Structure 1
Amino acid sequence: MARKDEVGRRGEDCAAEYLVRCGYTLIERNWRCSQGEIDLIVARGGDVVFVEVKTRSGTGYGHPFEAITVAKLARLRRLAGAWCEQSVLSARHIRIDAIAVIARPGQEPLVEHLEGIF
């Protein structure tokens, strides 16, 4: 596995653990369809949340949230709709969140959560 893939997997693990600690239930991880992939899908209180996780080993190339472009947000919205169309779960509300993980070697990862980014 390439180093960036390992960093990404570690970030998704951290994000999933963080969300579970915050009372969310993990529904799916790395859900894929022909349009792309959603990193995490979680639920809490009747709401379904689609989560984009961005991980960096430092901020030398910018904060992880800076990698979420307008085009990426539009694709996440389409993906959320595709998931809703095929899912048997019904949600009171849906939203798209972002989680940034800064996982510096030898340090505890820093997790930041932005709710309702789109």
Structure 2
Amino acid sequence: MGENAGRRDRRGQIGRLGEDVAAEYISGLGWQVLARNWRTRYGELDLIAADGRTLIIVEVKTRASRTFVDPVAAVTPQKLRTMRLVTRQWLAEQSEFWPVIRFDIVSIRLDIGDPEDLERATIAHHRGIVE
């Protein structure tokens, strides 16, 4: 396995761990997780959740490095545009009407020495990042 493939595998593993932590966190808030990793050819929504009649689209950013103080810094304006586009696609397939739609970011920092030690993970929840 080449060095780049090893990095991609680690990045994928870190991303999955972070999404697991975020899904558990969201469930702990009493929200219902409606979908995970919903994909179209235009992009992916990490988590789609409901809090009563509010639909929350959650971008999960996970790091097990010191690249960013808060992984939310990795969310670009282009990523936000893609989230809105893909959300419209998801909504077009749904029969339920959502009077309120909100976009959040949940950023997860895993321990750099032992990313699988989820007890040491830190979570930052950024609510309402896109109207």
What is the TM-score with the length of structure 1 in the denominator?
0.94
State the partner residue of 1:61. Answer: 67
Deviations 1:6-41 (A, max 9, x none): 000000000000000001001000001121100000
Instruction: State the SS of the aligned residue for 2:129.
Output: coil
Where do 5+ consecutive residues of structure 1 fail to align?
Answer: none
Distance 1:17 1:101 in 2: 12
Superposition CA RMSD, Å: 1.3
Distance 2:74 2:80 in 1: 11
Distance 1:74 1:36 in 2: 10
Structure 1 segments of 4+ aligned residues over 3 angstroms from their partners = none
Distance 1:69 1:78 in 2: 14
Where do 5+ consecutive residues of structure 2 fail to align?
Answer: 1-7
Distance 1:53 1:81 in 2: 19
Point out the structure with max Rg over C-alpha: 2
State the partner residue of 1:102. Answer: 109
Distance 2:27 2:50 in 1: 10
CA positional deviation for 1:89: 2.3
State the partner residue of 1:116. Answer: 128
1:16 matched to 2:28? The reply is no
Q: How many residues align?
A: 117
What is the TM-score with the length of structure 2 in the denominator?
0.85
